[in-house]
Structure 1
Amino acid sequence: MRLLDALRRRQRHRAEPGFVGANEVELLRGGDELFPRMHAAIERAHSEVWLATYIFHHDAAALALADALLAADRRGVRVRVVVDGFGSKGSLARLKERLAGSGVALAVFRPMDRWWRWLQPGQLRRLHQKLCVVDHEVAFVGGINLIDDRLDIHHGLSEQPRLDFAVQLHGPLVERVAEGLRSIWSRAWLGRDFDDALQDYIPWRRRLQRWLSQLGRGPQRLPLRAPALQPVCAAFVMRDNLRRRRTIEHAYVDAIRGARRRVDLVCPYFYPGQRFRRALQDAARRGVQVRLLLQGKVDYRLAAWAAEALYTELLGHGVEVYEYTPAFLHAKVAVVDGAWATVGSSNIDPLSLLVNLEANVVVQDSDFARRLADEIDTALAHSARVGERGGTGLRAMLHRAAVAWFAYVFLRVAGAAGRY
């Protein structure tokens, strides 16, 4: 009985998305800063390396990291890698060829190697996390795929690197990242998405879904006030399709609702639900300066079209909207009141908030927040502010209605539950 109680306590601890102290958190800008750090950590590895990414490309920057993984494997290090079957579809054959004959265990999350895979339920749910843990001593979390900063899969090379961020972690939080990463790798390696299978095949899935979401579930929200912990105080928050459906969204909304001075939010794909929009608008109404930095150089026209449908509503409530034009924008970061900050993989759109597997780090530390705020200020200085736009006519109304209808249909097809 005592053993069972201990296991239950351990499981609750793993599900707990709470803050822990005594961490070192360093902000890294782009692959130019991230990849050398990852490479050095993998070169020093003596026990194990775990890595998860949406895109593992076959350009020189990515293959250099693949070679570092192979070298670690030859030293006897246990190496486990999981990539998304859609995001890495174009490079997966070359990656498998590169790793062939080694002990590197490559798992593919929801592979797309056969035409009939497209017909399988749940294929819209993708692994969008970007995580790496080495020897349980250092972790990397962020929004940066394994691809050169100046290379876009659909648009080719560009002169300026895309704007993106990650963090390097040392301290107790590393273990929580490792637990999450191991779970995702195991899920892909076994090829058994038990929770999604239940949702997709049981006719009365909505009632069962709600029941399962409560069963053995840890708290879904971070505490509104971080406990008094030794700096740096940080939390690792994940979004999945069972126990932590809205953890990342709640973290954002709670921080925005508590804002008193400023909210800076950077996101390439922006189409938040009503709750999120209302939090931004209420903050602006309270006199909080709310600044959104979105894409100016567009990679997916449909995503930009969705964001633009909200411009008039946001601007009308006093929210400042900027578009980043020097290069592609891929960062998913935010700073609130110079004390709360987040860096991760989650966009503010239905795909990230209700469908994909995502991971963010939330940091309660003024020094870290100041560093990230400085980066945002620099990006804003090179961005174009969006002015008031006429959005009350029939065309604008049809625009908003079309985007809302598309989002609704997408969520129903993806099997997402709950209102957005």
Structure 2
Amino acid sequence: MSDRSHFDPRNVTCRWRDGNSVRLLENGDEFFPRAFEMIDRAEREVIIETFILFEDRVGLELHSRLVAAAKRGVQVHLTVDGWGSPTFSHEFVASLLDAGVRFHVFDPRPRPFGLRLYVFRRMHRKLLVIDGKHAFVGGINYSADHMLDYGPDAMQDYSVELEGPIVADIHAFATAQVCIDDEAKGVDQSDVRPCAGEARVMFVTRDNVRCRTDVERRYIQAIRHAERDVLIANAYFFPSHGLLSELRHAARRGVSVTLVVGARSDEPIATLGARALYKHLLDAGVRVLEYNVRPFHGKVAVIDDDWATVGSSNLDPLSLSLNLEANVFIRDPAFNRQLRARLDALGKAGCRRIDYGTLPHSTAWQALTGPIAYHLIRRFPRWAGLLPAHTPRSLMLRLRSTQEAAA
């Protein structure tokens, strides 16, 4: 996100770290209270990256916590995506800047006629790091539609809180994005707890320079070596041919493979894309479940007894080929049991199983055009990446330009 092209994410990601604790947080009802509590307890530094920050009751609550933290001397960096987050009011931005919050917007671009046209190369990560000791990674944005009391349109989603050596990796990555290492750092890494639990954790990012396929490769490797079962719950499922083939191969060699996707989505095309693959998956023996209670926004998976992932990466062309993403991969039987139990409960309470009888009838024209459409969509991100484009970067808003930035 910064202009520091020499920074290599591989220096701080894609390494297994032992001795961590991992706490599962389901939906905003569990995530927001814990995140806000830790922001209130911050002593030196708060770093947040989020795709979406809405100026609603959740966004305003975050706003007040960040302002309070900055006023008591905590160094606060807030980064939002310029496409995912809407225009903020002047008062919202000005009060953050007045308090000393360093407010970054990833890839800010003009919006002709108020339209957000720049859908590609988005900063889709959801990270929160407190004092270099606690980190949160997941798929939950700062918006009220992640709270259950929002109603039938409330998102179903997940995040994790981490302590232990893995936090140093996440902190090093997060600070590099906002160039904190060029300034007075707020955290002494010698304070980080060397061991906080039994979990082995790897922090993995995806970008468009050095880490183009890192998240996808971790999925493929785990599926390829699965011995008993694979359970993937993902909001937007339209993966690469390689990942799809590994799922089919796993099912055919006797692994129990289950896919949970949403029957409802904030992006209807995502549901259509997933449904186009159902017969292909059923033919190989994959069990497909559609969650139909609320929009499903999760990006999680559990494989066998000791492999799991939680993060921001969907399994679709945007996340796997264009967006900036971050996941944690976890080896911890206790965490696996907990996440699996939550997903099993979700399946029993709100999912319907897809079988051949529920598949939509395919016309001869659809049978002909379907494979063509699949390969066009699958290859679209690669083609889009070949188009001439600017280099995405972040802009830190300043007091003198607050009015222009909020307009």
**Would the TM-score normalized by the shorter structure come out above 0.5?**
yes
Aligned residue pairs total 365
Equivalent residue of 1:101, what SS? helix
Q: Does residue 1:248 correspond to 2:215, yes or no? A: yes
**What is the alpha-carbon distance in structure 2 between the residues aligned to residue 268 and residue 396 of structure 1?**
25
- CA RMSD between the two structures: 2.9
Deviates more, 1:338-347 or 1:301-310: 301-310
Q: Point out where structure 1 has 5 or more consecutive residues left out of the alignment.
A: 1-7, 190-228
Matched with 2:23 is 26
Deviations 1:324-346 (A, max 9, x none): 11111000000001210000000
Matched with 1:233 is 200
TM-aligned CA deviation for residue 59 of structure 1: 1.0
TM-aligned CA deviation for residue 398 of structure 1: 1.3
**What is the alpha-carbon distance in structure 1 between the residues aligned to residue 16 and residue 363 of structure 2?**
44
Deviations 1:118-164 (A, max 9, x none): 999x8610000000001011000000000124579xxx952474210
Equivalent residue of 1:21, what SS? strand
Instruction: Assess, with a 3 A threshold, how the Cα gap between structure 1 residues 259 and 392 changes in structure 2: closer, same or farther.
Output: farther
**What is the alpha-carbon distance in structure 1 between the residues aligned to residue 369 and residue 8 of structure 2?**
48
TM-aligned CA deviation for residue 93 of structure 1: 5.4
TM-aligned CA deviation for residue 11 of structure 1: 6.7
Q: Does residue 1:378 correspond to 2:349, yes or no? A: no
Q: Does residue 1:172 correspond to 2:140, yes or no? A: no
> Which structure is higher in RCO with an 8 Å CA cutoff and minimum separation 6?
2
TM-aligned CA deviation for residue 250 of structure 1: 0.6
Deviations 1:309-328 (A, max 9, x none): 11111111111111111111
Matched with 1:318 is 285
Query: TM-score, normalised on structure 1?
Result: 0.80
Deviates more, 1:394-403 or 1:83-92: 394-403
Equivalent residue of 2:308, what SS? strand
Q: What is the identity percentage for the equivalent residue pairs of Structure 1 and Structure 2? A: 37
Matched with 2:49 is 52
Contact in 1 for aligned 2:9/2:210 (Cα 8 Å): no
Matched with 1:144 is 140
**What is the alpha-carbon distance in structure 2 between the residues aligned to residue 289 and residue 244 of structure 1?**
30
Contact in 1 for aligned 2:29/2:147 (Cα 8 Å): no
Equivalent positions of 1:36-47 (< 5 A) are 36-47=33-44
Among candidates 334, 350, 362, match of residue 317 of structure 2: 350
TM-aligned CA deviation for residue 231 of structure 1: 1.8
Aligned residue type for 2:379: Y
**What is the alpha-carbon distance in structure 2 between the residues aligned to residue 118 and residue 353 of structure 1?**
25
Deviations 1:279-317 (A, max 9, x none): 000000011111000011232121111111111111111
**What is the alpha-carbon distance in structure 2 between the residues aligned to residue 64 and residue 76 of structure 1?**
19
Aligned residue type for 1:171: G
Aligned residue type for 1:39: F
Query: TM-score, normalised on structure 2?
Result: 0.83
Equivalent residue of 2:61, what SS? helix
Contact in 1 for aligned 2:21/2:197 (Cα 8 Å): no
Deviations 1:84-104 (A, max 9, x none): 000002447564244242200
Aligned residue type for 1:181: A
Aligned residue type for 1:235: M
Equivalent residue of 2:202, what SS? strand
Contact in 1 for aligned 2:265/2:271 (Cα 8 Å): yes
Instruction: Assess, with a 3 A threshold, how the Cα gap between structure 1 residues 92 and 349 changes in structure 2: closer, same or farther.
Output: farther
Among candidates 236, 240, 249, match of residue 269 of structure 1: 236
Matched with 1:125 is 121
TM-aligned CA deviation for residue 394 of structure 1: 3.1
Contact in 2 for aligned 1:58/1:94 (Cα 8 Å): no
Q: Does residue 1:387 correspond to 2:383, yes or no? A: no
**What is the alpha-carbon distance in structure 2 between the residues aligned to residue 299 and residue 170 of structure 1?**
32
**What is the alpha-carbon distance in structure 1 between the residues aligned to residue 9 and residue 28 of structure 2?**
35
Contact in 2 for aligned 1:14/1:179 (Cα 8 Å): no
Matched with 2:399 is none
**What is the alpha-carbon distance in structure 2 between the residues aligned to residue 377 and residue 159 of structure 1?**
21
Aligned residue type for 2:229: R
**What is the alpha-carbon distance in structure 1 between the residues aligned to residue 19 and residue 116 of structure 2?**
47
Equivalent residue of 1:73, what SS? helix
Deviates more, 1:231-240 or 1:390-399: 390-399
**What is the alpha-carbon distance in structure 1 between the residues aligned to residue 23 and residue 263 of structure 2?**
27
**What is the alpha-carbon distance in structure 2 between the residues aligned to residue 76 and residue 411 of structure 1?**
45
Q: Point out where structure 2 has 5 or more consecutive residues left out of the alignment.
A: 1-5, 183-195, 388-407
Deviations 1:221-269 (A, max 9, x none): xxxxxxxx97211110100111111110011010000111110000111
**What is the alpha-carbon distance in structure 2 between the residues aligned to residue 350 and residue 335 of structure 1?**
21
Among candidates 287, 295, 306, match of residue 262 of structure 2: 295
